[in-house]
Amino acid sequence: EPEVTQTPSHQVTQMGQEVILRCVPISNHLYFYWYRQILGQKVEFLVSFYNNEISEKSEIFDDQFSVERPDGSNFTLKIRSTKLEDSAMYFCASGRQGQETQYFGPGTRLLVL
Amino acid sequence: AQKVTQAQTEISVVEKEDVTLDCVYETRDTTYYLFWYKQPPSGELVFLIRRNSFDEQNEISGRYSWNFQKSTSSFNFTITASQVVDSAVYFCALRRYGGATNKLIFGTGTLLAVQP
C-alpha cells in the first residue's frame, strides 16, 4: 500500500540554521500539506499546496517558512533561520483530491538547540 | 469558527474493557467532514475513519465503532474489548466540505493507556 515518506526522521540543529524537511507524497496525489505538533500538543496546520502553489497557509507559516515541489516526487518544507520554538514534529500529508482523506507521513522530529 | 474538543485528556483501562473516546465539534457549516486519527507511541498519524456530515449512519469496523450525532455535534469513538496495542493518542479532526480550505482542525487528543 502506498505511503507518504519523510526524511530525515530526526534532525537536530542550532538556532539560526536553515533546515529542509523532505517528503515524498503518495504518487497519484495532487494536494500536499505540512502540519506540526509541538511536544504533547495538538496537530496544527501549516500550509497546503496544489498545482505548484500555496493554496492556504496558517498564521504560523511566516516568512521564515517556505515550501517547494522541486521535482515530480518530492515536497519540501524549508525553515530559513530556526528558532527554539520551531522544535516540533513536522508531518507531511497528501490527498488525491482536495476533499479526499489526507494521509500522513511518519513525521520528522526537529530539535532546535 | 471551527473547533474540536476532546475533553478526556487521558483514559486508562484494563485489557478487554470497552472504552469510548469523546469528540465534540463546533462549526457553522452545514456540511463538513469528521475524522479520527491514531498516534501510537512511535509517533506517526494513522487514519482511522472519515465521516461526511450528511451521512449520520454509525459505522463499525471490527472492534472499532463510531457514533455520529449531528444534534449534539458529537462524533464518539468506541473500542470494544480493548487490547494493549490500542494504547495511543487518538485525535478527532474536522474539515470543511468544499470551499477554498482543506485544512484539518484537530482536537487536543486523548491518550488511551490499555493495561495488560
Neighbours of A84 (CB within 10 A): 9
Which residue type, as a one-letter code, is found at position B115? Answer: Q
Query: Within 13 Å of residue B88, how many CA atoms lie on the same side as its CB?
Result: 21
Which residue type, as a one-letter code, is found at position B61? Answer: S
In the prediction, which pLDDT does B101 show? 77
Residue in A43, A95, A98 closest to B106 by CB = A43
Res. B30 pLDDT band, cuts 50 70 90: confident
Interfacial B residues in 53-82 facing A (CB < 8 Å): none
B45 lies within 8 A of chain A by CB: yes
Q: For the purposes of burial, counting CB atoms within 10 Å of the CB of A60, is it exposed (0-12), middle (13-18) or buried (19 or more)? A: middle
Q: Is the pLDDT of residue B108 over 90?
A: yes
Residues whose CB falls within 8 Å of the CB of residue A76, separated by 6 or more in sequence, listed in order? A20, A21, A22, A23, A67, A68, A69, A70
Contacts of B91 in chain A (CB under 8 A): 42-43
Asked whether the beta carbons of B1 and B103 are under 8 A apart, the reply is no
Query: Within 13 Å of residue A108, how many CA atoms lie on the same side as its CB?
Result: 26
Res. B39 pLDDT band, cuts 50 70 90: very high
B12 lies within 8 A of chain A by CB: no
Nearest residue in chain B measured CA to CA from A58 = B103
Res. B49 pLDDT band, cuts 50 70 90: very high
DSSP for A25-73, please give it.
Answer: --TT--EEEEEEE-TTS-EEEEEEEETTEEEEE-TT--TTEEEE--SSS
Average pLDDT over every residue of A5-28 = 96
Tens of pLDDT, residue by residue over A51-84, are: 899 999 999 999 999 999 988 789 999 999 999 9
Can you give the C-alpha Rg of chain A in angstroms?
13
Yes or no, beta carbons of A42 and B47 under 8 Å apart: no
CA angle B112, B106, B4 (to 5 degrees): 90
Contacts of A107 in chain B (CB under 8 A): 43-45
End-to-end Cα spacing for chain A: 37
Yes or no, beta carbons of B102 and A102 under 8 Å apart: yes
**Residue with the three cell numbers 487521558:** B10
Tens of pLDDT, residue by residue over B54-89, are: 887 888 889 999 999 999 999 999 999 999 999 999
In the prediction, which pLDDT does B115 show? 96
DSSP for A29-41, please give it.
Answer: --EEEEEEE-TTS
Q: Share the mean pLDDT of chain B.
A: 93
**Residue with the three cell numbers 516526487:** A73
In the prediction, which pLDDT does B107 show? 97
